[in-house]
Structure formats: C-alpha cells, structure tokens
Amino acid sequence: MELFTPEFGLVFWMFVAFLCLYFILAKWAWPFIIKSMEERADKIDKGVAYYQEAEARLSNAKAEADKLLAEARNEQADILREAAKMRNDLIEKARGDASIEAKKVTEAAQVSIEQARKESEKQLRLEVGELALQIAEKVIRRNIANDDAQKALVDQYLREVETKN
C-alpha cells in the first residue's frame, strides 16, 4: 500500500518545484511565447490576405494595362489612318491647285498666243496689203502684155514673202 500513500516530503517539494516553475515561466516565458506565436499567426494571415489582394490588384492592373494597350493601338491606327488621309488630301489638293494653276498658265499663254497671232495676222495683213500694193505697182510699172510673165512675177513675190515668214 506504500505505493498509494503520498509521501509528505515529496508532496512538499513537488509543490515548491511546480510553483517556482510556474512563476518563472508565467512571468518570463509563456505570455511572451503566446504573444509571439499569435503575432506570427496574425502576420501570416495578414500576409495571405495581402497576397490575395495584391494578386487581385495585379490581375486588375493587367486587365487595365491590356485595355489601355488596346486603346493605344486603336488610337495609333486611327492616327495613322488620319495621317494617311491627310497626306492623300494634301497631295490631292496640291495636285488640283497645280492643275488649276497650270490651266491658268496655259490659258494665259493661249490668250497671249492668240493675241500674238492676231497681232501678227494684222501685221501680216498690213504687210501683205503693202506687198500686194508693191506687186501691183511693179506689175503696172512694167506694163508688160504677157499675162504669164505677170503671173510668174506674182508667184515670185509671194514666195519671197513666204520665206521671210
């Protein structure tokens, strides 16, 4: 029965040892350890939440970036298309302007040519008239009965005029 009888000395020392152990650990160890572990658990939880949020944000940002990129691409295509159109317009306009100008120049030239022609025609008529008068004068002056000889003379003068011109 000795086994089931608590020994006084052992009870005493066990009590003392346990209380010392309790006060030492309760004062300097357990609260700190528990606090540290809970802080770490907290931090890990927060880290996971932060990570998930960051991941969501990242995917959002990616989607946004893709959207922006697509927009930029569209804009770029628009700008290019517009630029091409503008260039074509410019060329077209320039070409139109040029042809109008050319037409004007041509018309002016034609007008002046016409004028010159009319002038020269007038001149020519004057000259021809004069010439005819001269020819007639000469013909009359010779007074030769031969018609053929007269005709040849006229021809000769006319030819002279032609070569002058």
For residue 95 the two structure tokens come to 């070409």
How far from 10 is each of 3, 17, 20, 25, CA to CA, in Å?
A: 13, 10, 15, 22
CB of 42 to another protein, least distance (A): 10
39 vs 130, beta carbon nearer another protein: 39
- Which lies closer to another protein via its Cβ, residue 8 or residue 148? 8
Q: Is the CB of residue 154 less than 8 Å from the CB of residue 128?
A: no
Environment class of 44 (CB within 10 Å of its CB; exposed 0-12, middle 13-18, buried 19+): exposed
List all residues 6 or more positions away from 157 whose beta carbon is below 8 Å from its beta carbon.
131, 134, 135, 138
Q: Shortest distance, CB of residue 75 to another protein, whole angstroms?
A: 48
Nearest approach, Cβ of residue 48 and another protein (Å): 14
Site residues (vs another protein, CB under 8 A): 2-15, 17-18, 20-22, 24-26, 28-34, 36-37, 39-41, 43
Nearer to another protein, 8 or 165 (CB): 8
Distance in Å, CB of 51 to another protein, minimum: 16
What DSSP character marks residue 143? -
Nearer to another protein, 10 or 140 (CB): 10
Give the number of other Cβ atoms within 10 Å of residue 157's Cβ.
16
- In whole angstroms, the minimum distance from the beta carbon of 38 to another protein comes to 8
* Spatial CA neighbour of 165 closest among 111, 127, 115, 119: 127
Comparing CB distances to another protein, the nearer of 13 and 88 is 13
